Amino acid sequence: MIPYTIRNAEMTDLEAVARVHIASWRTTYGGLVETSWFDQMERNLDRRVQARRERLPRTDVHTLVMTSPGGLVVGFADVGPLDGEDPRFDGELYAVYLLKGWQGLGGGRALVQAGAAWLAQQGFRSMKVWVLRDNPSRMFYQRLGAEFVEHRPITIGTQTLAEEAYGWRQLNTFV
């Protein structure tokens, strides 16, 4: 296995995190989401970085990064309180993305586990994640012990797609 490091994000990581996000969307959702959406993500890179810069100091959300042996950011995860209402869950895995060449090496699992551990340390008891139904990697969450919870439509650009939620009802059994 290729070594990698999981650590807390720092201000100097934020542009790399935004770039990983865009590149991962292109490789994961290419052919599913309109190309113009990816182009718009790239055009708004500065805004994405600024939003992350404003969010990083917050104590209620957390970003973890996965770095290569050379220190390059090759993946990330965002976690925090549940966005929305669902009495079954109180925490949420907002995002976990890795560059294509770094998938399948255990880093995604490590990022999700580190995010769940952070949530548990903050007093959260459970975690939910939303994923596009046609994402070829969505079963990754079930392999990590999450159960299918529900589905809903989501609008991305001008498209309406299906999204599924998976969840871990007890973080203490996951971390």
Residue 155 lies in a domain: no
* Kind plus residue range of the DSSP H or E element containing 19: helix 14-29
The pLDDT profile of the chain, 175 residues, written as one tens digit per residue, is: 568 999 999 999 999 999 999 999 999 888 888 888 888 889 999 999 999 999 999 999 999 999 999 999 999 999 999 999 999 999 999 999 999 999 999 999 999 999 999 999 999 999 999 999 998 888 999 999 999 999 999 999 889 999 999 999 999 876 6
Residue 65 lies in a domain: yes
User: What does the alpha-carbon distance between residue 8 and residue 105 come to, in Å, rounded to a whole number?
Assistant: 20
> Cα–Cα distances in Å, from 55 out to 51, 63, 144?
6, 9, 28
Residue 30 lies in a domain: yes
**CATH number assigned to the domain comprising residue 19:** 3.40.630.30
φ, ψ of residue 154 in degrees (nearest 5): -140, 140
What lies within 8 Å, CB to CB, of 150 at 6+ separation is: 164, 165
Q: Total structural domains in the chain? A: 1
User: What does the alpha-carbon distance between residue 49 and residue 70 come to, in Å, rounded to a whole number?
Assistant: 22
Structural domain boundaries enclosing 66: 5-124
User: What does the alpha-carbon distance between residue 153 and residue 161 come to, in Å, rounded to a whole number?
Assistant: 6
The model's pTM is 0.94
Residue 52 lies in a domain: yes
